[in-house]
Structure 1
């Protein structure tokens, strides 16, 4: 019996057809394998049947993909519980990812200081290739981060304060290419989705070196960010905070802006001299 990943070639399939079919099937298998890993991660563990139902894959195919991941230490099989959970190799990958993103200790300390001083979740975001990525977060139970804004978050730059800062710091053609690729979907009723309006807004962000968004990303939340400059003077990152929108009156906004500018200046100085 053949499953949906089996490569077949009838008498009419020539030499050129077989390698192409094999390549296409190989890509599909990789996509399915990664999808299995994501389901197990998102659910905090899952049985083969659960994975099969979520991905709508035949159960034999699901078992085969799960066993491949177990064999490579990306998953572990808890036989007594008939479940699969994340394996130990993923921790090494996570450590390596944090090392590659490479937020210096002095910058992490400054983000934590900002969090404590303004009583709000604080973030450091950077460019990573063509992405705008959250590289570090400091928060607490009293002042939690926005969901899903954790390390590695790289979506919705048009609707986040740090995303606006980094978009405004890009050359115009790079920002246009980013927005072409990612779009400007409406996340809330106040998200700026019109490209012309967003362009005008980013020009103002660039002029001020500071960005606000109020309920554009998450209803009821407000975020602010200030640009961080590297040794050459170009924008290389952003420090940001998030808080409850209803708590941001004019006085609170002025306090947050002042703290963000001071924090960004300290990080910029460290990047120039550290």
Structure 2
């Protein structure tokens, strides 16, 4: 008996890829976006986009309100609030894997209830993390993941944070005052890595990338010794690819 070739896998993979592009497009719009705009940004024909949007909405990954699509409860649960212990447990394995692959300590941070929170960090004796000599929560203007988180806030939330945690130089390389720091944040382009050179700790350079996942403000970061600064940008781009693969893996459970 001849077994018919399995042709389902390529179709499924293509559908998942298209669905992921739509999810990424929706995630880039905090207030939602209409189907035509999402189709254009995802590079999909409108009928295909409509079909996938309906499927993602049915599965709970999207919701439709007033003619626009927003991330739904199922997507929010992937990155929703957890206790610090649960977040650390959930993140330990991928962070350790990325640490070993990149050869640098890896940090995960979120902005929650008006404060910067370092959720998890993976390091080892060969690639030690930066020592928290001044509270990460209070010195977001000086370290890469703090700058990355604050860059994702709106002006009102950013000003409120800086009212509570004023800008102050920590090293000779730190920003000098609030105006200089705000100018730097405004100059950042969306989704580009945030680079910090010896602003929090002398002898260390860091880079952070924003994580687009629903309404959660999050960032991933790495640090390397100053003498290895030429590794920083390639390493953070490698981290970006690893994070993207992890986020995509969650969505492979969608049946299309």
Taking structure 1 as the reference length, the TM-score comes to 0.56
Q: Which residue of 1 aligns with 2:227?
A: 246
Q: Which residue of 2 aligns with 1:203?
A: 186
CA distance 1:149–1:271, change in 2 (3 Å)? farther
Taking structure 2 as the reference length, the TM-score comes to 0.60
Query: Unaligned stretches of 5+ in structure 1?
Result: 1-97
Backbone CA RMSD of aligned residues: 2.6
The structure that is helix-richer by fraction is 1
Task: Give the Cα separation in 2 of the matches to 1:271 and 1:139.
Answer: 25
Structure 1 residues 111-169: Cα deviation after superposition (integer angstroms, max 9, x where no partner): 2122111111111001121111110010000111111179x942310011100110011
Q: Secondary structure at the match of 1:165?
A: helix
Q: Which residue of 2 aligns with 1:108?
A: 92
Q: Which residue of 2 aligns with 1:44?
A: none
CA distance 1:101–1:222, change in 2 (3 Å)? same
Residue 255 of structure 1 pairs with residue 234 of structure 2:
yes
Task: Give the Cα separation in 1 of the matches to 2:188 and 2:241.
Answer: 17
CA distance 1:182–1:271, change in 2 (3 Å)? farther
Higher alpha-carbon Rg: 1
Preserved contact between residue 169 and residue 206 of structure 1 (Cα < 8 Å): no
Please list, as runs of the form range in 1=range in 2, the aligned pairs for 1:53-202 lying within 5 A after superposition: 99-100=83-84, 102-103=86-87, 105=89, 107-148=91-132, 153-202=136-185
Preserved contact between residue 169 and residue 235 of structure 1 (Cα < 8 Å): no
Query: Unaligned stretches of 5+ in structure 2?
Result: 1-81
Structure 1 residues 193-245: Cα deviation after superposition (integer angstroms, max 9, x where no partner): 322221221123352431010100000101111111113xx452111111101
4+ residue runs over 4 A deviation: 270-274
